Copies of this chain bind each other. A is one copy, B any other.
Amino acid sequence: MPKNAFYAQSGGVTAVINASACGVIETARKHPEQIGKVYAGRNGIIGALTEDLIDTSAESDADIAALKHTPSGGFGSCRFKLKSLEDNKREYERLIEVFKAHDIGYFFYNGGGDSADTCYKVSQLSEKMGFPVQAIHVPKTVDNDLPITDNCPGFGSVAKYIAVSTLEASFDVRSMAATSTKIFVIEVMGRHAGWIAAAGALVEDNGIPVVTLFPEVEFDQEKFLAAVKAKVEEHGFCTIVVSEGCHWPDGKFLAEQGTRDSFGHAQLGGAAPVVANMIKEALGYKFHWAVADYLQRAARHLASESDVAQAYALGEAAVQKAVEGKNSIMPTVVRESSNPYKWSIGEAPLSEVANVEKMMPMDFISEDGFGITDACKEYLYPLIKGEAYPPYTDKGMPDYVTLKHVAVPKKLDTFEL
């Protein structure tokens, strides 16, 4: 009897994580001699710990195929980081116990840095515990911070959404600037790294005056206001792309401006209104601001074709490599050339992936700290290349799938998280 497989989605979801799920499940279905059923964790790894498994064999081929064009986590995800082996061996042992009970020989974990680490530990521990599980990590993160792989699925689509949206809103402001709004501020995700903000900075190539605020560059109010003023004086308007992670030299985020509501309660705001009001106070320009938040990482309607193809290919490769007997690895995207864009699938040992964070190279940020370099553009454009639209219904809404989620009968005692 072939072993079953376990698949789970981890952390913040993306527009294309389900394309990886689709790649995993469709490819597993092509290898019935080596892989039995694919069980998915309901709400991620928590589903494994609580033995809350979804039987993906109950989903039709058409519904599994539809995952490729459906954003979000089709099986649910969670932000739950397993502690270190020393601090909480109990959780790892429970995972192995659940895998044993359901005859799971393959563990496909779809996530970012933390899940790569968990995946690595499971492969080590399972061997020690005498129930070897092939653990393969499928990369996913809009933060684009996993090492070795050229880029991470999820990022390309956010980048495309932010580049296009920033361009469109900038065209809008340009139309009105002579007598009205002169400043448009868009706040984008990126607590630690400016990858997504860098995508907004691409609109410079479309003739848009843009000032970008990266988490990598300490905020210098005077220099920033001077840059904005210069753009407005030259072009009549200015677009500002601000990372949520943009911060003052003392480390305090711009978003934590200490705003209080009328009752004196601390008010959680965004960085965008802070920046917009700052410009208004100092320079008097009329502004508009937007906070894209989840819209950006969920925007499957504007996914990058490169991104969708790579998300699928990495899920597919994970299963192929598992079938070939590989263990404790992560399939990667290898860039063969930027122009024309060519990529292939490689692999990295999890020992080299776990706990390594890849930052944006400093030579991707322009000298003044407010823009991106040609090297950065050469890196980014291929990742936003191509459009992979979802199908739409007659009514004009995207035809996204919601799965049935048939539960696998439990065999073990309850486990307290």
Partner of A273, one of B160, B260, B269: B269
Confirm or deny: A219 has a beta carbon within 8 angstroms of a beta carbon on chain B: no
Q: Are A397 and B167 in contact (CB under 8 A)?
A: yes
Query: Beyond A179-B79, A298-B169, is A265–B281 a contact (Cβ under 8 Å)?
Result: yes
Query: Beyond A396-B386, A402-B207, is A72–B262 a contact (Cβ under 8 Å)?
Result: no
Taken residue by residue from 291 to 329, chain A's Cβ proximity to chain B (1 for < 8 Å, 0 otherwise) reads as: 111110111111010100000000000000000000000
Confirm or deny: A73 has a beta carbon within 8 angstroms of a beta carbon on chain B: yes
CA distance A94 to B206 in the complex (A): 37
Query: Beyond A291-B291, A295-B168, is A73–B175 a contact (Cβ under 8 Å)?
Result: yes
Confirm or deny: A164 has a beta carbon within 8 angstroms of a beta carbon on chain B: yes
Q: Are B294 and A293 in contact (CB under 8 A)?
A: no
Give min CB distance, A331 to chain B, whole Å. 23
Q: Which bracket fits the contact residues of A?
A: 35 or more
What residues of B have a CB within 8 angstroms of the CB of A70 in the complex?
Answer: 171
How many copies, total? Answer: 2
Q: Which of A223-231, A357-365, A387-395 contacts B (4 or more CB under 8 A)?
A: A387-395
Query: Beyond A78-B176, A291-B290, A387-B389, is A257–B265 a contact (Cβ under 8 Å)?
Result: no
CA distance A72 to B394 in the complex (A): 27
CA distance A186 to B394 in the complex (A): 25
Give min CB distance, A300 to chain B, whole Å. 6
What residues of B have a CB within 8 angstroms of the CB of A169 in the complex?
Answer: 293-295, 298
What residues of B have a CB within 8 angstroms of the CB of A276 in the complex?
Answer: 268
What residues of B have a CB within 8 angstroms of the CB of A281 in the complex?
Answer: 265
Confirm or deny: A84 has a beta carbon within 8 angstroms of a beta carbon on chain B: no
Q: Are B168 and A298 in contact (CB under 8 A)?
A: yes
CA distance A231 to B268 in the complex (A): 24
What residues of B have a CB within 8 angstroms of the CB of A167 in the complex?
Answer: 397-398, 400
